[in-house]
Amino acid sequence: MTEPVLGRLATAMVTPFDAEGGVDLVKAQKLALRLVDEQRNEIVLVNGTTGESPTTTDEEKARLVGAVKEAVGDHAKVVAGIGTNITAHSVELCHQAAAAGADGLLAVTPYYSLPPQDAIVAHFETLAGATDLPMILYDIPHRTGRPIETSSLMRLAKHPNIVAVKDAKNDIAGSAEVMAATDLNYFAGDDAKVLPILSVGGVGVIGTSTHFTGRRTAELLDAWFAGNTAEALRIYRELLPVYTGVFATQGVMMVKAGLAHQGFDVGGLRAPLLPASKAQAKAFGAILDQANL
């Protein structure tokens, strides 16, 4: 396989908030460095769902991209989530992210309005043409209400700036078909799907639990691409309780609880999300401890 355009291991980073509920850029820089230096992430994804992007302003998003890029420099790529359900607004966010120093963009399928496939294709082509940055498509129909169908992905793969897919569609056969016919880099968009997606040609994972499992997941990827599939499977089975446990409730809630458990407090959450309950936080902390994380 050729080397992936942006890398193999990414974390959809949570957004730290201070005591007043504002974005804590200093803590965001520390968290980004923790992900890169300690957890071996090659890509830090900011302003995604796990970054609570529905509740942050455009100005906050731009400042977060700039701060994280300043912190990681050339040691990792910074990919910015720019997807909304308004094409014109998404284009503005593409320009904003590029100006703030992003190395790539993540665009989710337009949600709520349920556009047909030709409109979805037109939307993504418009965003991909807004800058020269490489773009990852985020295919997550259980949140957006619409899949990016296989035929649409085949069409979108022809755009030079569309280089990858964050795949959370749970259609492994369809994903395999796209990978066989195109050069798109496929990332597991669900942590527990990392080994299945690798088995049909994927390049890696854009994770949530990788706030904690990044180093070990990097070892899994190393083993897989070295041809040591038994070792990759062994690591996968060790990490599976964390891969799934982080989604016992909404992912960002569990990540922030897990980071606090590790002594790295990143603040609270913005409504409508609430902090994980004491029982949820305790259970996830136990899972991290059991996995020696």
Q: pLDDT tens, 155-182?
A: 999 999 999 999 999 999 999 999 999 9
| Angle (deg, nearest 10), helices 251-261 and 210-225 | 100
Q: pLDDT tens, 54-69?
A: 999 999 999 999 999 9
For residue 75, give Cα distances in angstroms to 18, 79, 209: 26, 13, 21
Give yes or no for a contact between 15 and 253, defined as CB atoms under 8 angstroms apart: no
Give yes or no for a contact between 134 and 158, defined as CB atoms under 8 angstroms apart: no
Write the Ramachandran bin of 21: left for phi over 0, alpha for psi from -120 to 50, otherwise beta: left
Please give the mean pLDDT across all residues of the chain. 97
Would you call the peptide bond into 241 cis, given omega within 30 degrees of 0 as the criterion?
A: no
- 3-state SS, one letter per residue, for the chain: CCCCCCCCEEEECCCCECCCCCECHHHHHHHHHHHHHHCCCCEEEECCHHHCHHHCCHHHHHHHHHHHHHHHHHHCEEEEECCCCCHHHHHHHHHHHHHHCCCEEEEECCCCCCCCHHHHHHHHHHHHCCCCCCEEEEECHHHHCCCCCHHHHHHHCCCCCEEEEEECCCCHHHHHHHHHHCCCEEEECCHHHHHHHHHCCCCEEEECCHHHHHHHHHHHHHHHHCCCHHHHHHHHHHHHHHHHHCCCCCHHHHHHHHHHHCCCCCCCCCCCCCCCCHHHHHHHHHHHHHCCC
Q: Would you say the pTM of this structure is higher than 0.95?
A: yes
Closest listed residue to residue 168, CA positions, set 198, 199, 147, 185: 147
Catalytic residues: 138, 166
Closest listed residue to residue 166, CA positions, set 187, 196, 148, 146: 187
First to last CA, the chain: 31
User: For strand 43-46 and strand 9-12, is the pairing parallel, antiparallel, or unpaired?
Assistant: parallel
| Angle (deg, nearest 10), helices 251-261 and 278-290 | 70
Give the span between the Cα atoms of 1 and 18, in whole angstroms.
43
Render each residue's pLDDT in the chain as its tens digit; 293 residues: 668 999 999 999 999 999 999 999 999 999 999 999 999 999 999 999 999 999 999 999 999 999 999 999 999 999 999 999 999 999 999 999 999 999 999 999 999 999 999 999 999 999 999 999 999 999 999 999 999 999 999 999 999 999 999 999 999 999 999 999 999 999 999 999 999 999 999 999 999 999 999 999 999 999 999 999 999 999 999 999 999 999 999 999 999 999 999 999 999 999 999 999 999 999 999 999 999 99
